Amino acid sequence: MPAPLLHLTRLMLRDFRSWPALTVPFQARIVAISGENGAGKTNLLEAISLLGPGRGLRGARAAELSRRQGEALLPWAAAGRFESPWGSFDLGTGTPESGRPERRSFRLDGAPLRTQAELAERVAAVWLTPQMDRLFQDGAGDRRRFLDRLVWALEPHHAREVASYENAMAQRNRLLVQARREGRGADSSWLAGLEDAMARHGVALSAARRGLVARLNATLKGGVTGGFPAARLGLACPVAAALDGAPALAVEDGLRADWAANRGRDAAAGATLSGPHRADLLMTHVPKEIPAALCSTGEQKALLVAVVLAHAALIEAHRGFAPLLLLDEVAAHLDERRRETLFAALAALPAQSFLTGTDPAVFRPLRGLAEGFRAAGGELVPDTDLPVPEAR
C-alpha cells in the first residue's frame, strides 16, 4: 500500500473546546475515532480542519473555540506535524497568550505566516459532517460555500478572490444604504471603483467555480467513486454562463454596467441583488436523473461521498497530494454495502482519512487497514480492536 502524500503524524491541542490538553500520534492512512455523543470526536476533526485555511468545519470564530474556565476564555492552540512531498513541517494555529481572544494566528515551523494562501499551499482538507445532510434543503449560500471550499482546496488563491469580492460588495452596499438614508446621491466615482473590483474578482471566482465543476464531472465519469451513485454537478450562475460564450473582459464590462444601472434598486433593497454571490450548486443523481433535493437522505449522503472521493482524486492528480478527508459520522445514513464500498475507496485513495462514529463495531471491517481510537473523558486512547496496521 503506497504511503500517503500528505500525512498528519501528530496532533497537539491545548484548551481547545472540550480538550484541555492532548498530544496524539497518527500512524495509519485511515484513523477511526469512536465514542459516545459529546465525547469530543467532532472537536478533534474541527481542530484538524483548522490546520488548513479557513474557519474549519464548523465555520466558528476564534473566540468560540476556547475552553472556558468560569467566565474566562482560555487561549487555545492546535498544532500538527505533517509528512509531505516536500518533507516534514509543523503547523500551528490559535490565540495568543495575551491579546484579543478573537484574534487567530498561524505559524509554520515556528515562523509567523502572513496569509492563509501560504497555508493553503501546504495543506488542504475536505469534510463531511451530519449538518451537511441538509445541504440540499438549505439555502443556496450553504451549497455555494461547500463549492468554494472544494475550489479552494484545488486553487489556494480562490479564497482571496472570494474575500476581495465580498469586501468590495459590502462597501458598495454600505455606501448605497447610507446615501439613501441621508437623502443624497452616492459618490459615483467611489461606486465605480468598487464595482470595478467586484467585476474583476467576481469573474475570476466564477471562472474557478465553473472550472472545478467541469473537472469534477469529468472525474466522476471516470468511475473513481466505486459503488456510489454517479453524480453530475451544475452551476446556476449567470456570470459562469456568460463565460461560456464571451471573454472574461467582456463579462466584466457587463457586470459593471449592470451594477451601475441598478444602484437605485440595490440601495432600496440594502443589498446587491445580482452577481456571483447568488450562484447555486446543483447536483443530479445520474442513474435516476433526478435532482439531489428529491433523493432520499441515504442517497444524498452517498452523492456527497461520491463528490468528496472524486475531489480527493482530482486534487491528488493536480497538486501532487490529496487532501485530508474528515468524515464525521459518515456511516450514519449508509447501509452496510455502501459502508464497505466507502472503506474500500478510502483504502485505495492516496489520502489520509479520519472517520468518527458512536459505534466502534462499524469500523471493524477496517481491521488491518486503520488504526482506532476511543474518545472519553477528555482522553483519546488506542482502540485495541483496531491496532496500528502492520507496514506493507
pLDDT in tens, 127-171: 999 888 889 888 899 999 999 989 988 888 898 899 999 999 999
In three-state secondary structure terms, 327 is strand
**Cα–Cα–Cα angle for 325, 305, 59, rounded to 5 degrees:** 55
pTM equals 0.86
* pLDDT band of 3, cuts 50, 70, 90: very low
Mean pLDDT, rounded, of the chain: 90
Helix axes 188-221, 158-181, angle to 10 degrees: 140
> What's the CA gap between 201 and 173, in Å, rounded?
17
**Predicted pLDDT at 318:** 85
> What's the CA gap between 273 and 205, in Å, rounded?
18
The CATH architecture one would assign to domain 1-124+321-392 is 3-Layer(aba) Sandwich (3.40)
**Predicted pLDDT at 113:** 87
> What's the CA gap between 184 and 346, in Å, rounded?
60
Q: Which of 38-42, 112-116, 187-191, 350-354 shows the lowest per-residue confidence on average (mean pLDDT)?
A: 112-116
Annotated binding-site residues read 35-42
Annotated binding-site residues for ATP read 35-42
* pLDDT band of 226, cuts 50, 70, 90: low
The side-by-side arrangement of strands in the sheet containing 324-328 is 125-128, 324-328, 353-357, 30-34, 370-376, 379-382
Beta-carbon contacts of 351 under 8 Å, excluding residues fewer than 6 positions away, are: 4, 5, 6, 29, 312, 316, 322, 323, 324, 325
* pLDDT band of 93, cuts 50, 70, 90: very high
Strand positions, DSSP E, the chain: 7-16, 19-25, 30-34, 68-69, 72-73, 77-84, 87-94, 105-108, 111-112, 125-128, 231-236, 280-285, 290-291, 324-328, 353-357, 370-376, 379-382
